[in-house]
Structures are given as C-alpha cells and as structure tokens.
Amino acid sequence: MRGRSYEHCGSSTPLLGETVGENLNRQVSLYPEREILVSIPQRLRFTYREFVGVVNRAAKAFLKLGIGRGDRVAIWSINNYEWMVAQFATARIGAILVNVNPAYRAHELEYVLKESRVNALLLIEAFKSSNYLDMFYEVCPEAKECEPGQLDSRRFPELKSVIFVGSEEHPGMLTWQSFAELGEELEDAALVEAEAELDIDDVINIQYTSGTTGFPKGVLLTHHNILNNAFSVGELLNLGPEDRVCVPVPFYHCFGMVVSTLGAVTHGATVVIPSPAFDPAATLRAIDSERCTILHGVPTMFIAQLDDPEFESCDLSSLRGGIMAGAPCPEALMKRVESRMHMREIVTAYGQTEASPATTLTRLDDTLEQRVSTVGRVMPHQELKIIDPATGKTVPYDTPGEICFRGYMVMKGYDNNPEATGQAIDDDGWLHSGDTGTMDKAGYVRITGRIKNMIIRGGENIYPREIEEFLYGIDMVADAQVIGVADPKLGEELAACIRLHGPRVDSPPTPGEFRQLCKDKIAHFKIPRYWKIVDQYPMTITGKIQKFKLREQLERELAAGTLPDSRPA
C-alpha cells in the first residue's frame, strides 16, 4: 500500500563485498602517488603508497604484541595521523578499535576500559585541560611498575599493552616509535596470513553511545557496516580522487571516522586535518592553503567559522559542498554557508551510531527548503519506515511515529548486552531509532522529537542517566533529574533539577558552585548549564517522574529569564 510511510532506496551500484584493508589496497593500486592524508598541525603528508606502508608496519606491530582478530584496541586521542593509522591497522588484522571520547575523565575511562575489555590502549599525553597520562595512571597505577607490553592489572585483566602516541618515555608504556619498530620484526607474510582469515561481517569497531537506560553501550560495527556506509555517503556527494576533504569533526565519532575519513579513502580522496580539535580559524586556513573542496561539520561549527575574524582573509572558493549534521540547520545559516562559503552542494544528514551512522541524506539537487526542513531521503540499499510505537504498525504518510531502519548498516548489536540488543533490533531486523518523525509522499523525512530521553547538545549525544548517577554521588544531593532544554545555538542545553538533603538545604549551592563540583569529574559537555533546586518532581500515579513536565516548566522559566544559569554573567 503506497499510503504507508515506508521507503526503500534501490541502487545500480552494488554494495562492497570487501574488508576495510582490501578496500585500502584497491585505492593504493589506483592512486599510489595521490595524497591520502595531510595533518597540518603535525606538518605531515602521506601519499596512498606511503600511508599503506605505515599502516602495514603498525598492523604487524599489533600482531607482534599478540593482538589479532577479535582483540580490542582502545584509542584515546584527539585528531592526528596516528589515529587514522590505528583505524586502518586494526581493521587490517581484524582487531576491534574502541573509540574513547577525548573529553572523558578518569572514571569514564575506567568504565570504557572495563566494559570493552581492551587488550591494548593508545593514548596521547594531554590536550587543553585534559591530562590523559595522569588520568590513566589514576585508574591504573600499577602500570608504573610494569614493563611495557606486560601490564598486570587486577582492575583491567585483559589490558597488557599501553602505547604512548609520542616520543617521550613513560613507565609501563611503549612509545609510538618503539611500537612501530616491533612491526619491522615480522615478515609481511604474517600480515598476509592474518588478513586472509578475516570476513566482511567481522566486528572491527566499538563506539560508545547512550541508550535508553544506564551508562553508554558499546555499538558493534563490522567491515560491511562502516565501509559501505562511508562509500554510499561518498557516492551521494560525488566524491572523487580530486577532492580534498577538510575534517574538523572528531575522529572518535562516526561522523569523523566513517563519514569523513573512510568516506574519503573509499573514493581516493584526500583527508585534511586542520587542527587537533575544532578551531574555526585553523579550519578556514586549512581550506585556503590546501584548497579543500569538501567540508563537514555540525551547525555550530559553521556558525563559528562564518563569525571568525579570519573569515574575510581566507579564500574559500575551492569549496563545493559537504555535510551539515548533528542538529537542525536554520534556513538563514544554510543560505550563508551556500553563498559566503561557496558550498552550493552542501547536504544535511541523519542517522545514529547503531546505523553506522548515516540513514538519510538530502541530495545535491534538493531545494533549500528540503535541506533545512527535512533530513532527506533514505540512502541506497536501506529501508526506512515510520511506525506507531504502541502497535508497531506502519503509519500513513505525514503521520508522526517512530523511525525504524533496516539494511546492511544495522549494527551487529551492543557489546555483551543481548537484552539491550533485543530491545533495539526487532525480530524482523528493524532497528528502532527512538526518534519520532514523519515521511511525506516523496520519501522526505522530518524529525519531530525523540522517544528516548537522549539529549543532543551541539552534535553530542548525551544520556541524562549517566550524569544523574554522577550527581547522586555528591553528598548533599538526594535526587537529580537532567533535562534537555531548547537552545538556539547548540540545539539543546542541559538543565539539572536537584533535590537536596543534609546540612546545606537552607544554604543551597549556587549554579556556579554546582559547576565546580562537576569540573574535571565528568566531561565538560556533560556539565549542566542550568541548575534548579526543587522540593519534588511531577510524578505519575505509579511514581514515575514526568520529565516532559519538568522540561515544560524549565523552558517557561528559560523564556522568562528566571532559570538559574551557571555561566558568569
């Protein structure tokens, strides 16, 4: 029945039936002397031929450390060339790369290392206010007494090797150079043999994302998942070997690792790293100096570049397009990006980590209205339907319901969590997004809300329960509820509703004092901006807190300017 909100996008281009390593080999054979990577902050350039040599050496080094198919390698780093080397080297031997958010603090690192049961960890020294070495030694002090590659930790029994991405020597760690030299001790035949054992449906990546309950869950993604999603996005952008893709989005996220880097490599294009983390001026300078043709980012990144003092002095005429995702794009912003940044072929995208990540994309020939009011149509080789959450039946066109996906890109499941996997993927193979939306007769999807309580702040997916659990650990806090409230710049901001107990009830902390209690304990983007002390929460008859009523109340106060803000005036 054509009246139902269901679409399948066929394609004359077949899916890729190869591993990430095999695809890289194919690109090397096609474009050996083209640049694959330019890291501006590191002043490094690699051709496809040079890069595969570095990747192969790192892959053999992992093998020398006893890491192979199915083993887990965590990386805790900002954007750099070593990140991309680790991405392809682990895939080449079938090891599973575990992405660790660079904004995590010590207790979040401990959680991920325990949950993912990693065998090796790569980490940098520090960036801005984060000292990764100090935080690692805080959760694993015994590393200081162990020989490199022989870590013996009761807290992390599987973790044996720690690799410092740098040249300085640290207790219990291999330097990047000493790690790479291990790869020279193995013959190439060992790598060929290891790669021959791989299958396209092997899991090669774990990305942590917030779910409906508890702490972040590890999403299991395969060669087939991410390689084809990256390739499909590149195809819709008309990527080719002449393109130079500027990547200011973080590599640890699917947007950076899959859509950006892998999407470029599957088409013989060049990845340009403008800075370790997003810097608007550095991004503008990179576009200018490297003549980038494609730029990816979330709306706040584009706003920052347009408003940067260096904007007028940079030549952006080489740009033709890119992707804006992570939050709705206002029409005025899209017009500025098209005209002032020369990005006539910019598109919007939607998806989630569990879907590798892209599921819908506007097309290059779509109208401005379609690109700002919708998230496009379902991508090739994928199915999308919108259902009534209560009945599971597909709803008519233009009727709100839950968005569901099916196809090659659906995750293998949540790591070591079959119950959560079963809740996310039904018996017919549909991944339930938890988002609500509508589909029109032309197949364009509009996002209307979320069934899940997940908050999206500036492109970061944040689940309130994790923050609430942390706040419960503060002595004076009896209960905490974290809500997302509308924000014109970031999409949503965090607000915490706190019930207090103990001696400070009559003299509650100020919002600024609450912020200080969180500083350096949880990632900065998880610290609520707004703080409100309450005596009770709106409840159902059965005792469940009605967060939607809390949100309505907070947004009324926000509009009236009475919601306590932790930021300095």
Please give the average per-residue pLDDT across 150-158, as a whole number.
97
Residue in the block written with tokens 């991920």: 112
Q: What is the pLDDT of residue 299?
A: 86
- Reduce the DSSP state of residue 228 to 3 states and report it: helix
CATH number of 455-560: 3.30.300.30
Res. 1: pLDDT tops 70: no
Q: What is the pLDDT of residue 120?
A: 98
Instruction: Give the residue range(s) of CATH 3.30.300.30 domains in the chain.
Output: 455-560
Tell me: the pLDDT tens digits for 524-551?
Answer: 999 999 999 998 888 754 345 778 889 8
- CA dist., res. 148 & res. 169, Å (int): 10
Out of 3.40.50.720, 3.40.190.290, 3.40.50.980, 1.20.58.2030, the CATH code matching 46-199 is 3.40.50.980
- Reduce the DSSP state of residue 144 to 3 states and report it: helix
Res. 155: pLDDT tops 70: yes
Considering only residues 469 and 510, tell me which one the structure prediction assigns the higher pLDDT. Answer: 510
Please give the average per-residue pLDDT across 332-352, as a whole number.
95
CB 467 within 8 A of CB 334: no
Task: Choose among 396, 401, 338, 394: nearest CA to 371.
Answer: 338
Q: Which amino acid is at 188?
A: D
* Residue 567 C-beta-side C-alpha neighbours within 13 Å: 10
Please name the residues in contact with 32: beta carbons below 8 A apart, sequence gap of 6 or more.
47, 48, 49
Please give the average per-residue pLDDT across 100-128, as a whole number.
95
Please give the average per-residue pLDDT across 302-318, as a whole number.
95
Please give the average per-residue pLDDT across 175-201, as a whole number.
97
Task: Choose among 380, 319, 348: nearest CA to 459.
Answer: 348
Pairing of strands 413-414, 217-222: antiparallel
Task: Choose among 568, 551, 414, 405: nearest CA to 487.
Answer: 551
CB 479 within 8 A of CB 498: yes
Q: What is the pLDDT of residue 165?
A: 98
Tokens at 566, concatenated: 């932790």
Q: What is the pLDDT of residue 544?
A: 57
What are the angstrom distances between the C-alpha of 182 and each of 49, 91, 395? 21, 18, 57
Q: What is the pLDDT of residue 211?
A: 42
Exposure letters 419-449 (e unless 16+ CB within 10 A, then b): ebbeebbeeeebbbbbbbbbbeeebbbbbee
Instruction: Give the residue range(s) of CATH 3.40.50.980 domains in the chain.
Output: 46-199
Extended beta strands in 356-476, E state: 358-361, 377-378, 382-387, 401-407, 413-414, 431-439, 445-450, 455-457, 460-462
- CA dist., res. 561 & res. 38, Å (int): 46
pLDDT confidence band for 96 (50 / 70 / 90)? very high
Q: What is the pLDDT of residue 210?
A: 58
Mean pLDDT computed over every residue of the chain? 93
Res. 110: pLDDT tops 60: yes
Q: Which amino acid is at 230?
A: A
**CA 147 from centre of chain:** 33
Q: What is the pLDDT of residue 348?
A: 96
- Reduce the DSSP state of residue 66 to 3 states and report it: coil
Tell me: the pLDDT tens digits for 344-380?
Answer: 999 999 999 999 999 999 999 999 999 988 999 999 9
Please name the residues in contact with 53: beta carbons below 8 A apart, sequence gap of 6 or more.
none
CB 412 within 8 A of CB 353: no
Tell me: the pLDDT tens digits for 164-175?
Answer: 999 999 999 999
- Which of the listed ranges 213-217, 319-323, 331-335 does the model predict with the highest average pLDDT? 319-323
